[in-house]
Amino acid sequence: MLEEPALEEAYWTLVTISRRAKDFKETVALLKALEEKFKVKIGDLHGKPIYEEFVKSADYKE
């Protein structure tokens, strides 16, 4: 069962906040939740400028 669609926006806001705070462990958890709860395909984030620092992190590489 999918979550309430309006909640998806809140998750994306939290992704942005955690990414900017360099809390990459939380960013990973939120992206996984988006995939599971909302069936969002995240895919490879390499080459996307806003995720440049995140993809270099140990948390992303796990």
| Domain with 37 in it | 5-61
**Residue 50 confidence (pLDDT):** 97
Domains identified in the chain, total number: 1
**Residue 3 confidence (pLDDT):** 65
Say what the pTM is. 0.90
Q: What separation in angstroms does the CA of 3 have from each of 13, 18, 28, 36, 50?
A: 16, 21, 19, 10, 26
- List of residues 6+ apart from 4 with CB closer than 8 A: none
**Residue 2 confidence (pLDDT):** 59
Q: pLDDT tens digits, residue range 3-61? A: 677 799 999 999 999 999 999 999 999 999 999 999 999 999 999 999 999 999 999 99
